Amino acid sequence: MFYREVGQYKTNYSADMSVMPLLQDRVGIGIILFIAVVIIPYFGNAFLIQAIMIPFLVFSLAAIGLNLLTGYTGLLSLGTGAFMGVGAYACYKLTTYFPDVNILIWIVASGFFSAAVGVVFGLPSLRIKGFYLAVATLAAQFFLSWCFIRQPWFYNYNASGAIEVPTRTLFGIPITGATASDSTRYYVVLGIVVAMTWLASNLVHGRIGRMWMAVRDMDLAAELIGIRLLRTKLLAFAVSSFYCGVAGALLVFQWYGSAEPAVFDVNLSFFILFMVIIGGLGSLTGSYLGAALIFILPIVLRYIPPHLGIPIRPATVDHIQYMIIGALIVLFLIVEPNGLARLWQIGKQKLRVWPFPY
């Protein structure tokens, strides 16, 4: 009853093909954006913004990136962490060489470096498929991780091996570094993530999205209708790595404030992959849902039991987190391989016919 489409007919093709044809969807997104832009910064405390919202948005962006490659194009990648790292280090080097250029420009530019690296490591995808390609991406992951640790040029020959984010401003307001406030950083991240989500949505609803999905579903048939496989796959690697690179730059510059190379290891790659699997392969909404679940879970585990009076050590939280995530992966793959996004769709379907059962 709440989600009825009846009566919302379209009179031209461009309205019919719009990304959100239903009024309810548009209202929903409007409410979400209102909450994100107004309610949270105004009412939320520093903890909510710093420890939950900012990283949630950053991981959602990375999950979108990986989803474009693995969910839409069907190319399994285990190198997400490394591509995020390329973005972060690129941003760092750019801003140390050119400190006067606006940091926002460098955050976006670092995506291009990541995209270039992604294309290089995506070249094997012409000849290699499936599991084998996953191993090729592992090569990227381990090689790049090694670079970040062992090639001192990356961290400006710092003794500690870590990178420290310098203070940068925009119109006089500090947006990175120790003096930047939570709200400022939150707005930067929110703006970038929302804009890039909109761009990704445009891509997947149009010709390029169809090309990617065709390659995923049956690449032989895709070739026969004129899709050039290598170009399409490399484009997927490029765009996906761009998103992961920007996410990596945001991770370091807007959340952590500093980074050790160990941050961008193979565990991060798996982390993001799990977000995509649980959230739903091939769904942008799913990327957000998966990021929310996997990211919020350890926080819930860490803070709820003490409130209930059950003592719990931080190490135990980690262990239980791994167990729950592992079990959830298997559970989702058994019950709903299309992830939370599909569950959400089923939920909407129920809303469509409520109060009737079908």
Partner 1 sequence: MHLIYQIFIDPFVQMGNAPDLLVQTLWEGLVAGVLYSLIALGFVLIFKASGVFNFAQGIMVVFAALTLVGFYEHGIPAYVALALTIAVMFGLAFAVERLMLRPLVNQPDIILFMATFGLTYFLIGFGELVFGGDPKVMIASQLGLPKGAVEFKMAGGFVSLQKIDIAAAIIASIMVAALAVFFQKTRVGRALRAVADSHKAALSVGISLEYIWVIVWFAAGLVALATGIMWGARSEVSFALEIIALKALPVLILGGFTSIPGAIIGGVIIGVGEKIGEFYWGPLLGSGIETWLAYVIALVFLLFRPQGLFGERIIERI
Partner 2 sequence: MRAPIGPEVSAGDVLLSVEDVSLSFGGVKAVSNVSFDIRKGEIRAIIGPNGAGKTSMLNIINGFYHPQQGHITFRGKTRSKMQPHEAAYGGIARTFQNVALFRGMTALDNIMAGRTLKMHSNFFWQLLRHGPAMHEEVKHRQRVEEIIDFLKIQEIRRVPVGRLPYGLQKRVELGRALAMEPDLLLLDEPMAGMNLEEKEDMSRFVLDVNDHYGTTIALIEHDMGVVMDLSDRVVVLDHGIKIADGTPNEIKGNQAVIDAYLGVAH
Q: What does the binding site for partner 1 look like in residue numbers (CB under 8 A)?
A: 76, 124, 127-128, 130-132, 135-136, 138-139, 142-143, 145-146, 149-151, 220, 266, 270, 273-274, 277, 315-316, 318-330, 333-334, 337
Rounded to whole angstroms, the Cα distance separating 217 from 233 reads: 13
Asked if residue 22 binds partner 2 (CB under 8 A), the reply is no
For 249, the enclosing helix (H) or strand (E) is: helix 229-250
Considering the complex, what minimum distance in angstroms separates the CB of residue 143 from partner 1? Answer: 4
Asked if residue 318 binds partner 2 (CB under 8 A), the reply is no
3-state secondary structure of 176: strand
Q: Which does 326 bind (CB under 5 to 8 A by kind): partner 2, partner 1, none?
A: partner 1
Asked if residue 20 binds partner 2 (CB under 8 A), the reply is no
Decide whether 16 or 318 has the Cβ nearer to partner 2.
Answer: 16
Rounded to whole angstroms, the Cα distance separating 50 from 292 reads: 15
Asked if residue 202 binds partner 2 (CB under 8 A), the reply is yes
Rounded to whole angstroms, the Cα distance separating 242 from 114 reads: 5
Q: Which does 327 bind (CB under 5 to 8 A by kind): partner 1, partner 2, none?
A: partner 1
Rounded to whole angstroms, the Cα distance separating 68 from 74 reads: 9
Decide whether 226 or 314 has the Cβ nearer to partner 2.
Answer: 226
110 within 8 A of 249, measured Cβ to Cβ: yes
Q: 226 is written with which tokens? A: 């004129």
Q: 94 is written with which tokens? A: 């750019």
Asked if residue 46 binds partner 2 (CB under 8 A), the reply is no
Q: 343 is written with which tokens? A: 């569950």
261 within 8 A of 136, measured Cβ to Cβ: no
88 within 8 A of 154, measured Cβ to Cβ: no
* Footprint of partner 2 on 74-103 (CB under 8 A): none
Decide whether 17 or 346 has the Cβ nearer to partner 2.
Answer: 17
Question: For binding to partner 2 (CB under 8 A), which residues are involved?
Answer: 12-14, 16-17, 19, 199, 202-203, 205-208, 210-211, 213-214, 216-218, 220-228, 235, 282
